[in-house]
Structure 1
Amino acid sequence: MPLIRHARQDEVDALTAIGLRAWEGAVNGLVDIASMRRLAENAFADFLTKNWLSVSLIEVDGRPRGWAARENFDEIISDLWIDPDVQAQGLGGRLLADIELRISNDGFETAKAKTHAQNAGAIGFFRKHGYGVSWLSTAYAPKLDRDVEFIGLSKQFVVADPVLYGR
């Protein structure tokens, strides 16, 4: 049975490996993975070393299989990575539901995420779970030395009652 819990500092290496494997699948065909792999690995390790307190993970049989983060403890899901070996088994949906509950319990009415616009898997995943596209932007990515299109997604938790005039 999957278990969702807070990450521990001693799990940084395992979570880095999961993030790296999932990243490789997400950018396959978009970047030269071989030349970017070390940079991506260092970025994951650095992020997780500095922000492990903001990370929730999902484990199966005592083994971490994915993780999500709210880097600034706000409404933005900064990361959500599921090991490719267990993708499409519902673990991402469970982890997303948990982080959405945390966002809602912290008083936010909307959850937000972003990804590169060619990441059809992530976009489809978030749309399947009730997210809509809220913006599209192009920004220069220095590490890639090119412009990259990003897409913002959001999901509103609280639906305001419509203002009714008359009966």
Structure 2
Amino acid sequence: MKSGVEIEWMSWDGCLGTDLDSSSTAVIWILNPGMKPFPRRAAFETSLAFWDRSELPPLDHLIASLFGRWPEACCAIRRALCGDNGGWPWRPPLSHDAEAVKGFVDDLPAYVSRVVVACEFGISRSRAVAEWIAASVGTTAIGNRAKGEPNARLSDLLFSA
């Protein structure tokens, strides 16, 4: 990806309401577990699904660290050791997600001029991904900096690998 690309983070609603040049824009959707992907809006899109969890209790952190490359196994091991998480699927950002983002970005053609990253509220998950992409191409991501902070766990996974 070239350094002149525009990187932007926003909410799902913001992305759905934004005009995209479908031929030169890439979209990364960060969904909640169990959601169906949104209709395609660009030639290059990917969807990931995990909760906005920045900090994990020690056992969860250990499980995610050891088995994060295999999401299904990681979640099954956590469920076997800790129960069903009160009916909600346990699914924090994992190393598999960071690798998927990196692979998607690495495979984008040079003519992509805009990357939009969207999560539920456009605050934490999407900002972490957008800021990592921007740092890797030497630019600054665009988004609402007045709301929240990038997801620390996801940022650590992206910047450390």
Shared fold (TM-score, shorter chain, > 0.5): no
* Structure with the largest fraction of strand: 1
- When Rg is computed on C-alpha atoms for both structures, the one with the higher figure is 1
Q: Which has the higher contact order (CA 8 A, sep 6+)?
A: 2
Normalised by the length of structure 2, the TM-score is 0.31
